[in-house]
Amino acid sequence: MARQAPPRDLAPIAQRLRVRYAKGGRLRFSSHRDFQRAFERALRRAGVPIAFSVGFSPHPKVSYANAVPTGVASRAEYLEIGVTAVLAAQDVRSALDAALPEGFEVGDVVPARTPDFMERLQASIWQFDLPEVPDDRAAHALDALLSASVVEVQRMTKSGLRTFDARGAVLSGSVLAGTGCAILTVVTRHGTPSVRPDDVLAALRLAADLELVVPARVTRLAQGPLDSSGSVGDPLAPDRGDEPPMGIAPATSP
């Protein structure tokens, strides 16, 4: 007898919601797959009517964007869900935030009103806390990196060891002085290959011999569209409007 797919509610998507969430504390060491499992459990606990794909192994309609590497904290991670009923975004935010484990926090939920959300994630702002690194040493390393035209770093990938230019992705940076721990803020442009925080630290080491005795603590502060001044904007801004949310059929006259 042929196997049958398990029963699922295959109601169509009535609404799409975009979610900004944070990852911190001890859970910064969780992998992206760990977060996926925790988020799908939170959807069930919160009673969110998530839509599912069709087929023998239906999957919840959740799309993740640009996850940070394991060990890196973030205040600006994004995902999109498709739900089978029209919901109040603030109620979904509160329910999901309460259902997620401590260390994951839902900061914002808005109805999707515009297409091409992923294309708006053009750059990130990273904060590097550098214990036992003097402020002037960090400033010197940053100046050396920004003064270089090319800084090639190496990273092991699934295809083997790859060499690429990390300098080209670094748009700007600054050092916050007077904290007792050098704090470096860097804006990087997204691209292929994507330059990760470890690549920036490797570029600082190559450009200025900046060796860390204590590992850096890294946090993504923001990600979003780049404006002409090099600032990173809010990718959800176009969805905070009065247009009908995507996924809802327009009303028809009788």
pLDDT per position as a tens digit, 57-69:
889 999 999 999 9
Asked if the model's pLDDT at residue 135 lies above 50, the reply is yes
| 191 part of a folded domain | yes
CA 249 to chain CA mean position, Å: 30
Classify burial at 110, counting beta carbons within 10 Å of its beta carbon; exposed 0-12, middle 13-18, buried 19 or more: buried
Whether 78 and 129 map to the same domain: the answer is: no
- Domain annotation covers residue 59: yes
**What DSSP character marks residue 247?**
T
Question: Are both 147 and 51 inside the same structural domain?
Answer: no
Whether residues 86 and 174 fall in one domain:
no
Strands 15-23, 73-83: pairing is antiparallel
Tell me, yes or no, whether 131 lies in a domain: yes
- In tens, the pLDDT along 11-26 reads 889 999 999 999 999 9
Q: Do the beta carbons of residue 66 and residue 114 sit within 8 Å? A: no
Q: What is the pLDDT of residue 157?
A: 80
Residue 42 has pLDDT above 60, yes or no: yes
Q: What is the CA 241 to chain-centroid distance, rounded?
A: 23
The answer to whether residues 172 and 203 belong to one domain is yes
Q: Residues near 21 by Cβ (< 8 Å), separated by ≥ 6?
A: 77, 78, 79, 100, 104, 105, 106, 107
Q: What does pTM read for this prediction?
A: 0.88
How far apart are the C-alpha atoms of 201 and 211, rounded to whole Å? 9
Say if residues 210 and 216 touch (Cβ distance below 8 Å).
no
What range defines the domain where residue 214 resides?
122-224
Confidence grade of residue 4 (pLDDT, cut at 50, 70, 90): low
The pLDDT value recorded for residue 159 is 82
Task: Give the CA distances from residue 22 to residues 19, 52, 101, 108, in Å, rounded to whole numbers and listed in that order.
Answer: 10, 25, 12, 10
With beta carbons less than 8 A apart as the criterion, state whether 224 and 119 touch: no
What percentage of residues in the chain have a pLDDT greater than 70? 91
For residues 111 and 39, membership in a common domain is answered with yes
Same domain, 53 and 66: yes
82 and 160 inside one domain? no
Does 128 share its domain with 217?
yes
Residue 250 covered by a domain? no
Quote the pLDDT of residue 1. Answer: 46
Domain presence at residue 208: yes
Q: What pLDDT digit, counting tens, does each position of 179-227 carry?
A: 778 999 999 999 888 899 999 999 999 999 999 999 999 999 999 999 9
Domain presence at residue 8: no
Residue 1 lies in a domain: no
Residue 96 and residue 62 share a domain: yes
Residues 113, 126: one domain? no
- CATH code of the domain containing 85: 3.30.70.580
With bands split at pLDDT 50, 70 and 90, how would you rate the model's confidence at 9? Answer: low
Residues 114 and 153 in one domain: no
pLDDT (0 to 100) of residue 248 = 40
> Are 132 and 207 in the same domain?
yes
Query: From the CA atom positions of the chain, what is the Rg in Å?
Result: 21
Here the tokens at position 181 are 């721990």
Phi, psi of 57 (to 5 degrees): -120, 80
Residue 159 lies in a domain: yes
- Total structural domains within the chain: 2
Residue 108 has pLDDT above 70, yes or no: yes
